[in-house]
Amino acid sequence: MRILVTGGAGFIGSHYVRTLLGGGCAEHAEVSVTVLDKLTYSGNRANLVPVAGHPGLTFVEGDICDADLVGDLLPGHDAVVHFAAESHVDRSILGATPFVTTNVLGTQVLLDAALRAKVDRFLHVSTDEVYGSIDTGSWTESTPLAPRSPYSASKAGSDLLALAYHRTHGLDVTVTRCSNNYGPYQFPEKVIPLFITNLLDGKQVPLYGDGGNIRDWLHVADHCAGIQLALTKGRGGEVYHIGGGTELTNRELTGMLLEACGAGWEMVRPVADRLGHDRRYSVSIDKISTELGYAPSVSLRAGLDETVAWYRDRRDWWQPLAERAALVR
Q: Of 134, 79, 151, which is closest to residue 284 (Cα–Cα)?
A: 134
**Residue 220 half-sphere exposure, CB side, CA atoms within 13 Å?**
21
Q: Give the active site residue among 37, 86, 129, 216.
A: 129
Q: Give the active site residue among 16, 131, 151, 185.
A: 151
Q: Give the active site residue among 37, 63, 86, 128.
A: 128
Cβ atoms of 257 and 217 closer than 8 Å: no
Sign of CA dihedral 303, 130, 17, 225: positive
Helices (H), the chain: 11-21, 67-73, 89-94, 97-100, 106-116, 150-169, 191-200, 220-233, 250-261, 286-292, 300-313, 315-325
What's the CA gap between 168 and 151, in Å, rounded? 26
- The answer to whether 151 is a known catalytic residue is yes
Q: Show which residues are catalytic.
A: 128-129, 151
